[in-house]
Amino acid sequence: MATQKIHFFTGKGGVGKSLMAASYACMLSEKSDHGPVLLAELTERSFYRDFLGLDNLGYKPILAGKLSKHLSISQWSTNDCLKEYALHLLKIESLYKLFFENAVSKSLIQVAPGLQELAILGKATSSVRKHGPQMPFSEIVIDAFATGHFMNLFRAPKAMSEIISFGPMGEQSRGIDQWLRDANFCHVHIATLAEDLPITETIELYNNLKSEFGITAKVYLNKLLKLNDVDFENLSVDEKKHFSEISENESVSIEKLKSAGIHYQEILFVPEIDRVKLIGQIAGSL
Amino acid sequence: MIELKSETKTLICIGSGGVGKTTFAATVAIGKACEGKKVLVLTIDPSLRLAQALGMKPDGEIHDLTTEAMRNKNGKLFACVIQHEKAFHEFIVKASGQKLAAADIEKLTNNKLYKQLSTKLSGSQEFTSLFKLNFYVNSGEYDLVILDTPPAQHTWQFLKAPEKLSQLFNEGVASWFRNPKQTDIGFFKKVLNIGTTQVLKALETLTGADFIKELGLFFSAIQNWQGPLEKQVMDCHRLLASQTTEFALITMLDPSRITECQKISQEIQQEGYQLTTLVINKVPAWFKNKNSRKSEKINRLSSYYEDIEKLLTQSLTSGAGFKNQLKIYKCPEVSQNELHEKNLSEIYLQISKIN
């Protein structure tokens, strides 16, 4: 099997990154030359469970039959990632139980800065680092955190290895950080809307990823209407005002991305309520 | 218009990212000030346009934004853009009381873990906004304080913030890492029982000894403050559950919000918070105007929004587990090009109850 690849989806809250991540995973898994694909969400409360009606969605990957035959979905809560990591390191079941069933250590884990981030990234890179349980997927698509929180996630391994230079934690942190900077393995995707705030955040995030990690992120300009002159014919005054504003936002956003030297992919707005159809349509346009 | 109970002193606007919480909070603040109330709105990271339109400055200070129209009704409007790091520092200073020397505070704020905690701990931003909210509500200066909650992946991050922080300052945890009489070296050995030692050893295996040492330094720095710190955290929690605090859940016309919204509102009510208001925000004002449009695209768009609105109101009013006190409102979309106080006060008047 070729080397595993990993894709992180981020962007400002509310721009549709979960939907983009699902569509991207769907698109990958439908390619005939691909092995199995995993879609993982980083959250304590699942989005996909309700959105796709998958009642038994949890840490253990399950098949997302409705979306694609070769796609699995799982929810990576921090605690589950940490448990797996702890069990892998501590080896002894009883010690692990003592550690995790203890109220005090439970709160310590929440408090210890960086530990949660490391657990997540440790899980994401476990196959390539050959550390921890292997994941039998050719590509892993992660619906990750929003902009600020996402940068904190990516910065954690380096920050941790600076604070703690010795011991297993320091060593692993350095390893994880190196894999994040590997352009063949790690890919970052930013979803954005053609609006003022999301575009500003996207440009900043894009530049930070480039300067701090040498990562060139892929940008998706989501929910574009791309209206033309015919669309504006016979509109009421209110409608005209509304849609001119949208059109202007779209061209200003495109201008901003271009002048920042950022390549982007246009994603047209899909007015579809059926969730499976919606993901299928976006996947088709990718 | 939004109806609040006469005794209500605090309105907390919650909802997931992108639903327009900040603009909604500002709209209600303006509307209530125009009704003659003395209002303070606390926001986090308003858009440049909104900030400019209303004259907000991102300096963590309170600014008087009262207009002629408000003054005529004896109303006043104040706004504050919360600065997270500044607020966290204020919280530490306040919690430490007057007893603490500046040098001690500096010692703490220079601790590596403190820096991480104050900026990166998930929940700490939620907590500082709550801390500021509690402070201003208790000041008694305002008839109504409106809080726009931080952008979080999930509403629960906000509601669980006090709990998370109190775990940090929990005496039980902190005492593990302290050795009052000796230096930081060898404090493991001083820990009283075997179980504790084993857990710490496990933690050391996971994180390394350096990490444990940093934790020890941090907890010895905040020694003696546990009591007051926890009291602050408790006060904040009490404010959330208070009878004079109302919650407004903001949502919008998007397929992914339909089930989400129903679920969240049920859960919040079950937890005992006073969720009284649900707002379907950013409702396009144009799509009711049926006319002879030529654009196939816009026609599809308009029936799409109509369908979602139907589904959303159905799922919200069908009453599955809903308490009937919940008021559901529709708020029209605000044009970003027309963001100014006068326009927002008109939008406020257009907010209509649909149940």
- Closest residue in chain B to residue A45, using alpha carbons only: B154
- pLDDT per position as a tens digit, B201-224: 666 766 667 667 777 777 776 666
**Would you give the DSSP letter of residue A68?**
-
The pLDDT-based confidence of B199 (bands split at 50, 70, 90) is low
Cβ B207–A242 below 8 Å, yes or no? no
Please choose, from the candidates A219, A226, A227, the residue with its C-alpha nearest in 3D space to the C-alpha of residue A199: A219
Which position has the higher pLDDT, A242 or B292? A242
Q: What token pair was written down for A115?
A: 């530990």
Q: What is the CA radius of gyration of chain B?
A: 24
- pLDDT per position as a tens digit, B104-152: 777 777 776 677 666 655 567 778 888 899 999 999 999 999 999 876 6
pLDDT surpasses 70 at A26: yes
Determine which of B127, B171, B297, B314 to mutate to test the interface with A (most A C-beta atoms within 10 Å).
Answer: B297
Q: Which amino acid is at A44?
A: E
CB A22 within 8 A of CB A41: no
pLDDT surpasses 70 at B271: yes
pLDDT-above-70 percentage for chain B: 74
Cβ A233–B294 below 8 Å, yes or no? yes
pLDDT surpasses 60 at A1: no
B10-84+140-154+242-353 has which CATH code? 3.40.50.300
The pLDDT of residue B330 is 93
The pLDDT-based confidence of B191 (bands split at 50, 70, 90) is very low
pLDDT surpasses 80 at A9: yes
φ, ψ (nearest 5 deg) of residue B277: -130, 135
Distances (CA, A) of B212 to A119, A193, B20, B204: 17, 43, 42, 7
Q: Flag whether residue B297 sits within 8 Å of chain A, measured between CB atoms.
A: yes
The pLDDT-based confidence of B155 (bands split at 50, 70, 90) is low
Parallel/antiparallel/unpaired status of strands B327-332 and B62-64: unpaired
A5-226+263-285 has which CATH code? 3.40.50.300
The pLDDT-based confidence of B184 (bands split at 50, 70, 90) is very low
Cβ A231–B16 below 8 Å, yes or no? no
Cβ B298–A269 below 8 Å, yes or no? no
Q: CB within 8 A of A263, min separation 6: which ones?
A: A218, A219
Which position has the higher pLDDT, A98 or B60? B60
Q: What is the CA radius of gyration of chain A?
A: 21
- pLDDT per position as a tens digit, A158-174: 987 876 666 677 788 89
Taking contacts as CB-CB distances below 8 angstroms, the residues of chain B near A102 are 195, 199
Indicate the average pLDDT of chain A.
Answer: 88
The pLDDT-based confidence of A111 (bands split at 50, 70, 90) is low
pLDDT-above-90 percentage for chain B: 30
A43, A169, A278 member nearest B208 (Cβ):
A169
Alpha carbon of A94: minimum distance to chain B alpha carbons (Å)? 11
Length in residues, chain A: 286
The pLDDT of residue B192 is 39
Q: Which amino acid is at B219?
A: F
- pLDDT per position as a tens digit, A212-267: 999 999 999 999 999 999 999 888 888 888 899 999 999 999 999 999 999 999 99
- pLDDT per position as a tens digit, B37-71: 999 999 987 777 788 888 888 888 999 999 999 99
**Would you give the DSSP letter of residue B175?**
H
Taking contacts as CB-CB distances below 8 angstroms, the residues of chain A near B44 are none
The pLDDT-based confidence of B170 (bands split at 50, 70, 90) is low
**Distance from C-alpha of B69 to C-alpha of A9, rounded to nearest angstrom:** 46
Alpha carbon of A243: minimum distance to chain B alpha carbons (Å)? 9
- In the block, residue with structure tokens 């569509």: A23
- Closest residue in chain B to residue A230, using alpha carbons only: B295
The pLDDT-based confidence of A108 (bands split at 50, 70, 90) is low
The pLDDT of residue B61 is 92
Alpha carbon of A161: minimum distance to chain B alpha carbons (Å)? 10
pLDDT surpasses 90 at B245: yes
The pLDDT of residue B188 is 42
CB-side neighbour CA atoms (13 Å) of B23? 27
The pLDDT of residue B154 is 63
CB B212 within 8 A of CB B196: no
The pLDDT-based confidence of B185 (bands split at 50, 70, 90) is very low
pLDDT surpasses 80 at A93: no
Parallel/antiparallel/unpaired status of strands A71-75 and A62-63: antiparallel
The pLDDT of residue B152 is 63
**Domain assignments of chain A as residue spans, ordered by start:** 5-226+263-285
pLDDT surpasses 90 at B30: yes
Cβ B206–A169 below 8 Å, yes or no? yes
- pLDDT per position as a tens digit, B335-347: 877 788 888 999 9
Mean pLDDT computed over A146-157: 88
pLDDT surpasses 70 at B74: yes
**Distance from C-alpha of A4 to C-alpha of A125, rounded to nearest angstrom:** 9
Report the run of H or E that residue A57 belongs to, with start and end.
Answer: none
**Distance from C-alpha of A116 to C-alpha of A156, rounded to nearest angstrom:** 9
pLDDT surpasses 90 at B177: no
Among A100-114, A175-189, B75-89, B167-181, the least confident range: B167-181
